[in-house]
Amino acid sequence: MKSTVMAVFTFLLVNTFAAQAATLDENEHYRAFKSWAMLTQEPNPIPNMFKFCLQSYDKMTASGVAPSTRVPEESRPGARPNDPPIVWAGTVQELKEKWCEAGGKKVGDDVAAKHAPYRAALRNDKLRLVIDETHGHVKSYALAGGRYTSDAKQLAAASVWFLDVGPATNERQNCPQGGKRNTVRRYAFDGQHNLTGTTSKEYCGNVPSAAYQ
């Protein structure tokens, strides 16, 4: 009798959990939360992933999903051969706190440390052109002579920058007479790091050093 009761209880528990999992998967905000949270566990996540993870969590809980709701456990292989598996388990609140909040703080601190030298040395348009606020990346530019640098002090001191820009993917990549199309964009700045002008010139094949003047 006791074993029969336990079997019934187990059956009901399994079916309840299966129903809850199905209900969760039907919630678009849960699916969005799971998708963004999983992306934060990939190599080199960007700050916006954590922001969208938190936003989708707020929408999900506002739609009626309780923070204590347990997710159906799932394991995915890591993105790289030696990466540990990504294990989706626990409550939605636990996942939010561990992956979205704690992970986001670490990435935010790392990005802030990387940006600090540029925020100290650059202002206005120069700062805007170097720091990619969306992805957290830092862009390099060529100085007079054509050598690329990401050194904040060198970029601050230079009155002109250069950037090699290829043709758009939907345009022809080669010149009619042969050679790959290459465009050098020139940025000129005033003493306050404001952009005073931008010019571009296209070349076929290798770009001559005279282009970086």
Q: Which two tokens stand for residue 117?
A: 């030298």
User: What integer pLDDT is reported at residue 170 of this predicted model?
Assistant: 80
Q: What's the pLDDT score for residue 21? A: 53
Task: Say what the pLDDT of residue 169 is.
Answer: 78
Kindly write down the DSSP assignment for every residue of 136-163, as one continuous string: --B--EE-TTS-EE--HHHHHH-SEEEE
- Please list, residue by residue across 126-153, b when 16 or more beta carbons sit within 10 angstroms of its beta carbon and e when fewer do: bbebbbeeeebeeeebbbeebeeeeebe
Q: What pLDDT, on the 0 to 100 scale, is given for residue 23?
A: 82
Q: For the chain, give every domain's residue range.
A: 2-118, 123-211
* pLDDT computed for residue 1 by the predictor: 53
Rg, C-alpha atoms of the chain: 26
How far apart CA 199 and CA 140 sit, in angstroms, is 18
Looking at residue 13, what is its pLDDT?
Answer: 37
* Cβ atoms within 10 Å, residue 199: 9
CA–CA gap between residue 147 and residue 36 (Å, rounded):
38
pLDDT profile of the chain (213 residues), mean per 10: 46 42 86 97 92 97 97 94 94 97 94 97 98 92 96 98 87 85 95 97 90 94
For residue 12, the model assigns a pLDDT of: 36
pLDDT at 197: 97
pLDDT digits (tens, 9 = 90+) for 41-98: 999 899 999 999 999 999 999 999 999 999 999 999 998 999 999 999 999 999 999 9
